[in-house]
Every structure is written in C-alpha cells, then in structure tokens.
Structure 1
Amino acid sequence: MPTVTLSTSKPTTARADVLILGIRGDEDKAELAATLDLMGFTGEKGQTVRFPSGGLAKAPVVVAVALPEEPTAEDLRRAAAKGLRAATNATSVAVALHPAGVDEVEAIAEGLELGSYRYEAYKSTKKGAAKKPEITSAVILTPFARQTTATKAVERAATVAAAVNVARDWVNTPPGDKRPADLVEAFSQHAGNDVKISVWDEKRLAKESCGGILGVGQGSDSPPRLMTLTYEPAKPVSHLALVGKGITFDSGGLSIKPGASMQTMKLDMAGAAAVVAATVAIARLGLPIKVTAYACIAENMPSGRATRPGDVLTMRSGSTVEVHNTDAEGRLVLADGLALAAESKPDHIVDVATLTGACVVALGQHTSGVLGNDDGFGERVLAAAKTAGESMWPLPIAEEMKGLVTSSSIADLRQHNPKPYGGTLFAAAFLREFVGDVPWAHLDIAGPSFNEGGAFDYTPVGGTGTGVRTLVKLATELSGS
C-alpha cells in the first residue's frame, strides 16, 4: 500500500507525479474547461480523463475525476481509487477531492490503499525486465491536514485497508497452499500477539462433539481445524462473537461439483478470512469491545472416508442432522461454530459465509444478503455496511422455512432444502437453530467475495475482502467509539 499523508497545499502547488483532481461542477472545471471539453469530459459521475497539466499545476500530469456536487464518503472512496488506477507509470500522487470533513478524509485514504492492491505472489519476474512503477506515496490535500483527528483517521484507514488486503491475499492463495493446517498458520502469523489464539485439531473436535466440522472434513487427508481468536480489552462495553466459514477448497464432496464450478472454489474460506482479519484489526484499533472469532476450517473432498448423502451427523449443540447434499457443507461447519459462540453468551453474533448460489441469483454479484433473528440488530449491521461502503441487502427467513428445516424423518434437522427455491432462506433458517436467543445476523457473501471480471474502483480481480469493513464498523458502533 502507498504511504498516505496529509497536506494543506493547494492543488496547483502540490508536488507529485500526478494530481488527482475531483471535478464537482463548473467552478472546479473553470481553468481546465477547454482541455476537459477536448478530452470529452462530460462530468458524469465516476468519469476520469488524464492529460498533461501544461504548467497549470506543479504535477506534470492531471487525472480529472468527476464527482457529484455533494459526494458521499463512498463516492470519494471510489473516486480516489479510480484516480489511482489512471495514474499509470507514477510513483507519487497528490489527491484533491475536496473532503468536507475528517470522515471523508478517511474514506479517501481507504480508497487509495484499497485501490492500490495487487496480488502477484505467484508471478515470475523475467530476467532483465524493467519493474513496473508503483505508487509508493499519496498526499491528500485538505484544510484538515493539521488536525489530530485527521491524522488518526488516516491511521485508522490504513489499519482497516491492511485487514481487507490480507483477507484478499488469503482468498487468492491457491487451495493446495492453504489446506486447513496451512490456513491456520497464515492466520496465526498475521494475528501475532494482538489476540489470543486456540486451535482444535481433529482429535479435540471429536472430543468436543463438533460433528459438523468433522463430517465435512473427513473426506480429506488434511484434517479440519477450529481456530478461535479472542480480543478482550480491560473494560469491554460489549461482547461480539464472529463465526466464519473456512472451506479451503470445495469440491462438493461426494455430491461433486462440475469441473468449471470448482475453478474458483479457493474462495470458499472468504468468510473465515473476513472474521479473522476484522478481529485483528479491531484489536489493533484498540476498540473497547470483546471479540471472539471462530474460524471453522475444513477441506471438502470426496474419498472413501467422505460423508455420504443420507448420513446423520451429531452437532456440537447435540442436534442431529440428516445430510442430503455434501455440497451444502458450509452450514454444517458454521453450525458448530455458532453453537460454540452461543455458549459464550455474547451480546451479538455475526457469521460470514460464501454460503449459497441462491443469494447470487437473488442479489447479483456485488451485494451480500443479510438475514437473522433480530430485526433491530439486522438494521445495525446494514447501517454499518452502508457507512463502510459495502453493498448489503436484507432478506427474510420466511415462516415456512422452519418446517422444512425440521422435516427430516430420521433426525432432528435436515441439512438441505427439499424445495428448488428459497435456498438462501432455508440455509439461514438452518443456522438459526444453533444460535439460541442471542441476537444474530448472517452475512451471505457468495456474490461479492470474489471478482471474476476486470478490476474496478477499489475492487481488484479475485478476492475482494468483503465483510471486513462492515465488521470493523459494526464493532466500532457497538463499542461506542
């Protein structure tokens, strides 16, 4: 990520390779009107054009980014990233997007740091090839530059963006290099001493009756794990439990996926990545809230040991579950994590999972579904998501889903929807069985967790880190910070 600093300099005098200039209307456009008109700049929100400054600014190149008259924090977050993407072959940028307050300064810093992300861990460098320039420094031009609150906002943005970017790294890592034990090691290295960590192996999982995680992971020769991270400040004002689905690779098990559908299944641990990255960020921000995160980690593979359709698993809660489709494995590992979370008697529980294709059908590839057992808490999650800049939408757990979940003839619960519709609602109704009366929200991030198209704004190709910013913002709100 680039180093982001603040300055009270004017756009015309700021020294950088590229000036990223926000254009809100005719007043901002004035001195550049002729050039912008020649470049076909219409002022449509999000439009960018790049041109030589012609001596109008110290920076030799200007990237003009169209903004609405009264941009939101998310508008500025995206504009900063758009401008950064257009500043090719530069190593430094000055950013003049006219933030109206410290919160908007923070949004711009986030946009710059998120927009600079690249995943090149497996790219080889050809001998003698020139290294492509990277932007290493960015200065945000703002009259708030000398305020301590603005400096702290930039520091906060760096912490949150780093959390999002490490979650992206974990999702992008090839599945053969992040089998359950590998993923635990990666999570542990990132967490360092900021949180307390415990890890249950397959023997401890059996002792603790975590039949869901064991059932999903038993087809693999890389045994499952349950990783718990705990951050507890001196005087926490609340206790938030987070649960993440961590399927390091999802073949579908014996209900095997078509080959094409497996290509991106390294993404199926994005929920665990989000809760781990968010928990560590919350700790590094020093928020006065206790957070306990459960990463439910397994590899879903077919073998002679794999769970079969028709098998019955006994979960941590004591409930028995009849398995109908081994490709609906996420809800099984989450069930054990949610039961453990409920046992700790937190004030709130949030789980994050790439859970259902049905949610993508309903909401598309860029919006997560939010379901739960408490409307008030659900609204708080949605409000946090909106402020953080992550697209989420409420979905109901329809009344009839309860009867479908309990319709197994031989077990307490059935794992898979007997109907060809309402898959997201059924999955949430199943998970609800394991949270008791604790206010709980389920985030189905199946769509936005992975971007198979081209990079846009601050969203890169591959893992996106969806959920991290919302969780950090929610913890901030719950702690009153």
Structure 2
Amino acid sequence: MTTVNVSDRPAHGLKADVLVLGTLDADGSAVLAAGHGLPTAAAGHLAQQLAALQATGAAEEVVTVAGVPEVSAGRVILTGLGKGSPDTASFGHEVLRRAAGAAVRSAKNATKVVLALPAAGAESVAAVAEGAALGSYRYAGVRGETAQRGSRGRRGSKDAPTVSAVTVVASDARDKAVKAAAVRAGVLAEAKAYARDLVNTPPNKLFPQSFTDSVKERSTTGKGTVTVTVLDEKALRKGGFGGIVGVGQGSVNPPRLVTLTWAPAKAKQSVALVGKGITFDSGGLCIKPPASMLTMKSDMAGAAAVAATVFAAAELGLPVKVTGYLCLAENMPSGTAQRPSDVVTMRNGTTVEILDTDAEGRMVLGDGLCLAAESGPDAIVDIATLTGAQMVALGARVAGIMSNDDGFRERVRAAANASGEAAWPMPLPADLRSQLDSSVADLAHKGERWGGMLTAGLFLKEFVPQGTAWAHVDIAGPSFNEGSPWGYTPKGGTGFGVGTLLTLVETYAA
C-alpha cells in the first residue's frame, strides 16, 4: 500500500528518493512549471538540463536529472504538463493525474517520492495524489522461489523497491479539505490496486470460490464493517438463479453470487452495484478463437470494481448504504455446459432462450439485477466487460453508459468525468427491442450484430423494475490495457470503474 501525505514545507528540502516537478511546453521547449519553489541554483541547473536534453514539456514526457544542487532528493523527475506558459497556475485534474502517474511509474528503485506540481485547492491536490499513488502500482505476479532468488540485487528486478509513500507539496496543505482529499486519494488508489490485482490474477488462481475467499478476507481488514453473504451452487438453484447457474454449469469451479453490504446506521439512501464476474470466459460451447482468450481472465473486472468500491465506501465511512452483488462464474465447455437453444428461467421468472453461449455476461447480470432490485435501492448500477461492440463504438479507453433515465445516466457520466474515467452516454433505442423477441421463451438473450452494445443494454433493462433508476456501464475496453502503460494506467488490469462508482456513491452522501 502506498501512503499519501501533504506538506507545505519547501519541496527541495524534503527527504526523498525522488522529487517530481512539472514542465510546460512553451513553443516546443520545456520550461519549469510554476509552484516548484526551488532555490535559484537548482532552478537554473534544471533549466540548463532541459535545454541540453531537448525536452519539450509535452504531456506525460518524463525526464530524469540526478544530483541537482540544493535539492535533498537524489533525483528530480520532470514530468510534462503540455502547453502553457511559465506563469500558468492551474491545470485540468486529469492532466495532473496523468503527469503525476507517469512520473511515479518511471521512479525506479524509489520508496519515497515528493511531488511539487502546480496544484492548489483540494481537488487539484487530490488529482496529483491519486495519479502518484496509482502510478506506484506494481502487480507482484506469481513467481517461484528460484526465480526470486535469481533476480535479487539485479537492477529493475521484480523484487526491487517500489514507491511506498508519496508526499504532495501544496501551500494549503493544512486546510481540512485538502487533508481530507489526500486521505480519499489514498483510499481510492488502494481500492483500485485491489481491483487491478484481482483482474491480473491468473484464472487458475482466481475462480468463483477463490474470488469469494478474497473478499471475505478483505472484509475483516480496514475501517467499517462490510457484511459478506454467499450463495453457492445449491442455493442458486434453489433460489431460481437460472442465468448464473446456466453459465457456470460447464465448469468444475461452480458459480457464486456474493453480496457485500456497507450499511451505516445513519444512511438515508441506498445504492446497489452489480458486477459481472466471469473469472474466465472461454465462450463455452460457442468457443472463442485462441487469441481471443488471452485477456479473458479480465472478464470479471466489473465485479472487481464493485467489490473495491464497497470496501472504499466503508473505509471512508460514507453515510450511504452500498450493496455490491458479485455475479461469479466460469464459462467453460464440457459435457454439462449450457447449449445454444437452451431455455433458462431467471430469478424474476422470465424465461430466456440462449442463442450464443459466448454472450454469458448479460445472463449473470440479469440474475444479479433481479436480486439487487428486491431490496428496493434508490438506484442500481451494473458494470461489466460486456460487449466487443463497446470497443468498436468507443475504443479501448472510453466506457459506454446506458440507462432507463436520462437524468441518472448524466449523473453517472458526470461521476465518471470527475474521476478521470472517460465515459460516453449511449441510447437504448426502442426500435431495437424487437430483436430480443423469441418464439420459444419470453426473451431471446441476444440481438443482431449491429448495435450489439445497445441490445445488450436493452436485455438488462428487462430485469429492472419500472420506476427504479438504473444505469449499465460497459467497460469492455478500458478495464484492461493490452498496450504500453500510460499516465497512471499500467499494462493489464486498470481498475476502471472504481473512481466512477465511488464518486457516484458520494453524490448520495452529499
């Protein structure tokens, strides 16, 4: 865990392995951003180095300089903020997050990092703290003892020191709101790290029961009391959860439906969060091509985001009841696997014709939505790596948001925007609903190829009672980064959705 602190002391005098400062792109040349507070000799030395290295100050450009005079830290990392002039005093929060994250990601063999970026006020300080803490993330992986012994002492080895403490320098560091913002940033970063760890865990290590064990163990640590209840395969069959039972029946690892509840005594409003938790998706009998399975350990990223959010809400003591529903199953082919043309009965009694066993996420979510609605929450949000169509429409970094209420959809989108998680509102066209008609059941579970993200949303809408505010967030693209790291985003699991959901819950606490 990376601790987050704020300080109003001069940055150059603080003891640390690395000092992070901002640079600006001033007509193609890098200049130091305002707010560094450096002595003249240090500022002059860095200006010379920036010129010699032909730095540009472009967004997320990172330059490292060692042995800067009158600076206690052994290294100074200069991180680009993009276009601006030396007297520019404010930057967008996401610009600050990414700049801080890019700098800390590059801080090799460092444990303590100080950041003096142009940030004033609680929100800007929080953005720097979040970016730095998120940039410090490293997935430990699964390594044998021999490999670990062989790597010891090697530069850049897997067991090299990682950043454990970040300090954000701000003139208003003693302000209560700024201190609270730093605390929240640390909690959010830790929650995202937990979600990232779950997503990155190999599928033979993370399956429905081990996922359940993980949240049970986490519920016993930290602040607040999170109650965990579990429905195993027998209870799921008895309870009429035909969607999740059908998806999981082909695997030797049976499904689970886990409920996490944060219920403070003074809560006046309640929010239900439903997460798709397919711990591995082979496609079932409609099996995927081999290359398409390589990232399918991440098909439980929605459930990971939900679990992390509930724990973060408890850690922050938010005065809102937050209930998370983790719909966990492994979608595998076998002699007991679900078949195309099967008809299953969902929790609310709706019968569904299965057309494609590789469209399994909506089935587990349908049951989860039914269960969530039974408690009568003020709002329900489901989050899922649901459709490839989401990536076709919006790419790998932008989530799609659908809802039965335009105002609520905008509320979710605003929460995403405030947290730095890109999302875009999408419609649920009534004319596409007929694609879900079935001649043998109440509902077909999949529509045509075109508009596949939207028909998936329309299917889920069928399991939400009329009058209940609901939104569906499709994170198929942004939940997993297959490319190179950028900003505060690592390769692999990103933790996308935790910021959106936590910010949304906080709007009910306000």
Please say whether Structure 1 and Structure 2 have the same fold, judged by a TM-score greater than 0.5.
yes
- C-alpha distance in 1 between matches for 2:138 and 2:325: 28
- C-alpha distance in 2 between matches for 1:422 and 1:392: 17
- C-alpha distance in 2 between matches for 1:64 and 1:400: 53
- Asked whether 1:217 is paired with 2:248, we answer yes
- C-alpha distance in 2 between matches for 1:96 and 1:240: 37
- The residue type paired with residue 239 of structure 2 is E
Match of 2:484 in 1: 454
- C-alpha distance in 2 between matches for 1:28 and 1:461: 29
Q: CA offset at residue 166 of structure 1? A: 0.5
For residues 222-371 of structure 1, the aligned pairs below 5 Å read 222-371=253-402
Q: What whole-Å deviation, never above 9, does each CA across 1:45-79 have from its counterpart, x for those lacking one?
A: 22221123531523232211222533112111111
- Asked whether 1:79 is paired with 2:93, we answer no
What is the percentage of aligned positions where both structures have the same residue? 50
- Asked whether 1:61 is paired with 2:78, we answer no
Match of 2:21 in 1: 21
Q: CA offset at residue 207 of structure 1? A: 1.4
- The residue type paired with residue 393 of structure 1 is W
Q: Which of 421, 425, 433 pairs up with 2:454? A: 425
- Asked whether 1:115 is paired with 2:145, we answer no
Match of 2:62 in 1: 48
Q: CA offset at residue 151 of structure 1? A: 2.2
- The residue type paired with residue 23 of structure 2 is I
For residues 466-477 of structure 1, the aligned pairs below 5 Å read 466-477=496-507
- C-alpha distance in 2 between matches for 1:428 and 1:147: 44
- The residue type paired with residue 69 of structure 2 is G
Number of residues of Structure 1 aligned to a counterpart in Structure 2: 478
- The residue type paired with residue 379 of structure 1 is E
Which stretch shifts more, 360-369 or 66-75?
Answer: 66-75
- The residue type paired with residue 10 of structure 1 is P
Q: CA offset at residue 215 of structure 1? A: 0.7
Q: CA offset at residue 13 of structure 1? A: 2.6
Q: What whole-Å deviation, never above 9, does each CA across 1:125-154 have from its counterpart, x for those lacking one?
A: 134721523223322111122223322222
- Tell me the SS of whatever aligns to 1:78: helix
Match of 1:463 in 2: 493
Q: What whole-Å deviation, never above 9, does each CA across 1:347-380 have from its counterpart, x for those lacking one?
A: 1000010000010111111111111111100101
Report the aligned-residue RMSD: 1.6
- C-alpha distance in 2 between matches for 1:393 and 1:16: 40
Q: CA offset at residue 230 of structure 1? A: 1.3
Return 5+ residue gaps in structure 1 as ranges.
Answer: none
- C-alpha distance in 2 between matches for 1:260 and 1:220: 21
- The residue type paired with residue 97 of structure 1 is L
For residues 154-193 of structure 1, the aligned pairs below 5 Å read 154-192=182-220
- C-alpha distance in 1 between matches for 2:278 and 2:327: 8
- C-alpha distance in 2 between matches for 1:414 and 1:212: 13
- Asked whether 1:35 is paired with 2:49, we answer yes
- C-alpha distance in 1 between matches for 2:70 and 2:80: 19
Q: CA offset at residue 420 of structure 1? A: 2.2
- Tell me the SS of whatever aligns to 2:76: strand
- The residue type paired with residue 58 of structure 2 is E
Q: Which of 450, 463, 469 pairs up with 1:434? A: 463
- The residue type paired with residue 309 of structure 2 is A
Match of 1:400 in 2: 431
TM-score, normalising length from structure 2? 0.90
Q: CA offset at residue 43 of structure 1? A: 2.4
- Tell me the SS of whatever aligns to 2:149: coil
Q: What whole-Å deviation, never above 9, does each CA across 1:152-205 have from its counterpart, x for those lacking one?
A: 222111111111101111111111112211111111111227211111111111
- C-alpha distance in 2 between matches for 1:316 and 1:136: 45
Does the 8 Å contact 2:91/2:118 carry over to 1? no
Match of 1:382 in 2: 413
- Tell me the SS of whatever aligns to 1:160: helix
Q: CA offset at residue 3 of structure 1? A: 2.6
- C-alpha distance in 2 between matches for 1:46 and 1:463: 20
Which stretch shifts more, 72-81 or 468-477?
Answer: 72-81
Does the 8 Å contact 2:475/2:496 carry over to 1? yes
TM-score, normalising length from structure 1? 0.96
- Asked whether 1:2 is paired with 2:2, we answer yes
- The residue type paired with residue 182 of structure 1 is S
- Tell me the SS of whatever aligns to 2:259: strand
Does the 8 Å contact 2:280/2:330 carry over to 1? yes
- Asked whether 1:149 is paired with 2:177, we answer yes
- Tell me the SS of whatever aligns to 2:166: strand
Q: CA offset at residue 381 of structure 1? A: 0.4
Match of 1:126 in 2: 149
- C-alpha distance in 1 between matches for 2:453 and 2:75: 49
Q: What whole-Å deviation, never above 9, does each CA across 1:84-143 have from its counterpart, x for those lacking one?
A: 123223332221002121121112111111111111231341347215232233221111
- C-alpha distance in 2 between matches for 1:316 and 1:5: 47
- C-alpha distance in 1 between matches for 2:194 and 2:402: 26
- The residue type paired with residue 125 of structure 1 is Q
- Tell me the SS of whatever aligns to 2:22: strand
- The residue type paired with residue 174 of structure 2 is R
Which stretch shifts more, 183-192 or 58-67?
Answer: 58-67
- C-alpha distance in 2 between matches for 1:12 and 1:331: 53
